[in-house]
Amino acid sequence: MLDACAELLDENGYAELTTTRIAERASVAIGSVYQFFPDKRAVTQALGLRYLEMFSARVSARLAQESFGHWPDAVDAIIDEYIVMHRTVPGFRSLHFGDVVDVNLLDAGVDNNTVIADRLRELVVNGAGARRGERLDRTVTVAVEAADSVLKLAFRDDPDGDRLFIEEAKVLVRSYLSRHFGAR
C-alpha cells in the first residue's frame, strides 16, 4: 500500500490522492487500507516515516564506510544521500518528509525538520564523532532548515535538482558548521 501511495504521489500529487486510488493501485480491497490506515494522511505519514528510516539507514551506512577528519565534513555525504533519494525513490520527491501534507506529519508534537534534525544529530554523534550539547542541537537545527530551503529551491524548476544550487547548499551548511565547530 505504501508503494502504491508513493507511485500515486509522483503521478498526481497529494491533492489527487485517495484511499480508493491507493487500494486500486495496490490491488487490495478498500477495507484492507482502512484496516491499517484511517485516511490518506495516515498512509502518507507511514510513507514519510519509511523515508525517514531509509534516509537514516543510508546516512548511517555512509558515515560508517567513509572516514571524516571532522564531523562537519560529513555534510556532503548527508546531502548526497538526500539528493539520491529525491532522484530515485518513488514518491520521495513529491512527499519529501511530509511538508506537502503537514509540517507535523512525522510527529504531531514537533515539525518535520525538527524530527530530521534530531535524527541527524544522533547520526553525527554516533557515526561521525560529534559531541552532544545545546550548541550541537542549535547548529544542526539551523543547518537542516537552511539546507531544506536551498534544496527546495534546487528542485523547484529542475526535477533532477539544479547542480549549482545543490552545491551552494553544501557550501552554506559546511561554512555555517565550520564557523561554529571549525576544524580540529
The C-alpha cell 547520526 sits at 123
Q: What is the pLDDT of residues 24-48, one digit of tens each?
A: 999 999 999 999 999 999 999 999 9
Angle between helices 40-65 and 19-26 (to 10 degrees): 60
Question: Which percentage of the chain shows pLDDT scores above 90?
Answer: 81
Q: What is the pLDDT of residues 123-173, one digit of tens each?
A: 888 888 888 999 999 999 999 999 999 999 999 999 999 999 999 999 999
What was the pLDDT predicted at 91? 95
Residue 78 in this model has a pLDDT that exceeds 60: yes
Radius of gyration of the chain (CA): 17
Residue 180 in this model has a pLDDT that exceeds 90: no
Alpha helices in 13-111 (DSSP H): 19-26, 30-36, 40-65, 75-88, 92-95
Residue 179 in this model has a pLDDT that exceeds 90: no
What mean pLDDT comes out for the span 71-77? 88
What was the pLDDT predicted at 71? 81
Question: What is the residue extent of each domain of the chain?
Answer: 48-181
The backbone torsions φ and ψ at residue 52, rounded to the nearest 5 degrees and listed phi first, read -60, -45
CB 111 within 8 A of CB 144: no
CB 133 within 8 A of CB 144: no
Amino acid at 98: G
What was the pLDDT predicted at 133? 93
- The number of beta carbons lying within 10 Å of the beta carbon of residue 65 is 8
What was the pLDDT predicted at 183? 52
How would residue 184 be classed by pLDDT, with cut points 50, 70 and 90? very low
Q: What is the pLDDT of residues 44-68, one digit of tens each?
A: 999 999 999 999 999 999 988 988 8
Pick the CATH number of 48-181 from 3.60.15.10, 3.30.2130.30, 3.40.50.1580, 1.10.357.10: 1.10.357.10
pTM listed for this prediction: 0.91
Q: Which grid cell sits at 27?
A: 490491488
CB 44 within 8 A of CB 17: yes
